[in-house]
Structure 1
Amino acid sequence: MTVMEFEKGPNRYFKNDDAGKLIGEVTFEQINDDSVIVIEHTFVNPAYRHQGMAAQLVQKVIDQARAENKLINPVCSYAKSMFIKTPELKDLWYKHN
């Protein structure tokens, strides 16, 4: 898998193609006095799927959460499936009742 470079915007990481068109992004918000990051949506343009972009986008949020000592609520179905399949993420998973 090729490691991709992403840009960071307000509450998102994203990648544009050379023409400036969005080809992938993950969006999130911070709640509970900014102690929890909610991953809301992951998008990859169909022409760029199956290259690991979605996983790398979610990983950027995971890295940010670890660096800032925050938990993650993966509302996005892709991010949630990643958390379910990856036991190493259990310590970051915010599960509210």
Structure 2
Amino acid sequence: MILHYEKERVYAKDENGMLLAEITFPETADGWADIDHTFVDPSLRGQGLADKLVRAALQQIAEAGKRPVATCPYAVNWFEQHPEELKDLFGP
């Protein structure tokens, strides 16, 4: 699956243009980006796509020189499960 990158958004569509997966992370305050929405089509769940989306969003946030915060329930859980990866990308 090919991920497409936009400012504050990573997504994937099928060959017909139907949205299959998406994560959004708008800037909320100076230097912060909120991962506020993660979507994976039910037909693709359980294949690690949401994890891939979070990682792609975090990489884009890091490259933009911002820091992440999560309000999306999936992302909140991901942050709790991967504190070392967050530390590696963004420091303490």
**TM-score class, shorter:** 0.7 to 0.9
Alpha-carbon deviation of 1:23? Answer: 0.4
Alpha-carbon deviation of 1:51? Answer: 1.0
Picking from 56, 63, 80, the partner of 1:60 is 56
- Find the aligned partners of 1:66 and 1:22 in 2 and give their Cα distance: 25
- Find the aligned partners of 1:65 and 1:11 in 2 and give their Cα distance: 8
CA RMSD in angstroms comes to: 1.8
The number of residues matched between the two structures is 89
Matched, 1:42 2:38: yes
Task: Name the % identity.
Answer: 36
Paired position in structure 2 for 1:19: 16
Alpha-carbon deviation of 1:10? Answer: 4.0
Q: Report which stretch shifted further, 13-22 or 60-69.
A: 60-69
Q: TM-score, normalised on structure 1?
A: 0.81
- Find the aligned partners of 1:62 and 1:79 in 2 and give their Cα distance: 10
Gaps of 5+ in 2: none
Picking from 28, 38, 61, the partner of 2:25 is 28
Alpha-carbon deviation of 1:9? Answer: 2.7
Question: What amino acid is the match of 2:14?
Answer: D
Paired position in structure 1 for 2:67: 71
Q: TM-score, normalised on structure 2?
A: 0.85
Alpha-carbon deviation of 1:53? Answer: 0.7
Instruction: Tell me which stretches of 4 or more aligned residues in structure 1 moved more than 6 Å.
Output: none
Q: Helix, strand or coil: the match of 1:19?
A: coil
Alpha-carbon deviation of 1:90? Answer: 4.2
